[in-house]
Amino acid sequence: MTSQLLEVTQEQEGFRIDKAVSALLPELSRSAVQNLCAAGQVLLNGAPASKSAQVRAGDQVTVEVPDPEPLEVEAEDIPLKIVYEDDDLLVVNKPKGMVVHPAPGNYTGTLVNALLAHCGESLSGIGGVIRPGIVHRIDKDTSGLLIVAKNDLAHQSLSEQIKVHSFTREYAAIVHGRFKEAAFTVDAPIGRSPVDRKKMCVTDRGGRVAVTHVEVLEEFRAFSHVRCRLETGRTHQIRVHLSYLGHPVAGDPLYGPKKTPIKDTQGQCLHAKTIGFTHPRTGERLFFDSALPEYFQRLLEKLRQQG
């Protein structure tokens, strides 16, 4: 059992405690916090708190996280493209089509299954039995760089960097349409869609702060190649923000148009190209950049030929 003492910030003023804790500890989902509340493992100013308790700035919240249960997910000998590895973490280049962690419908063939075979028991336990070592995620049909923590020290440090926006994440995307500006920022809160629970949307009602910086790299007749830098990391953030602007990611089956001339991307044309962070043990600032994958380069060449 590990215990973490948190102080509620002004940003969480008036939040339910489950929402506040999940904001302060990104490695814990809101449902995980609710389960901890039900078990009496979340204390508000020293007293057990229900999941719906409201918090105020300055409140002290103690979260007791149980030791990880024996992992039931099986290790699978799946090849990994490892960009960097040491005793604390590794950076992998995830291919399009691979799910990050087991979930209903995808209990095998995931990145976690592959990591268990590669790392054995040397993975952070903070993510729980299904998500060991997973500090942040990218969608199944998004390719690119992902960092994995091998121990809790690394996990906590990297999660804190994400929370304070010092963790660099840049994506390459091909999107519908052309832009009036060469560079701009999208600052629009994102929350769960009230119409379709599988989707996220820009909303002021219960939405969380979401900021994406966009730079246009190349324009074509009806598409643009852009770089997107995440300041925050909400679910589907880039896909939602670009769709909200009327420029959905090419090939996006969830947020893009039903009819599109882009047929061969096998999902959205979105690649996690660059990550940068401070090493949790050495303090060294590290950056890693990946080449655009074949599917992405193929579409770029096709668009260039069309003019």
Of 6, 2, 1, 3, give the one whose Cα is nearest residue 23. 6
Distance CA 251, CA 194 (A): 24
Q: How far apart are CA 212 and CA 234, in angstroms?
A: 10
As a whole number of angstroms, the distance between CA 180 and CA 307 comes to 19
Q: How far is CA 179 from CA 127, 176, 228, 299, in A?
A: 39, 10, 14, 19
Residues facing residue 172 across a β-bridge: 227, 271
The Cα–Cα gap between 201 and 213 comes to 18
- 67 is annotated as an active-site residue: no
Catalytic residue among 18, 59, 88, 139: 139
Residue 5 to residues 25, 40, 65, 148, 280, Cα–Cα distance (Å) = 11, 15, 11, 24, 20
Q: Which residues are catalytic?
A: 139
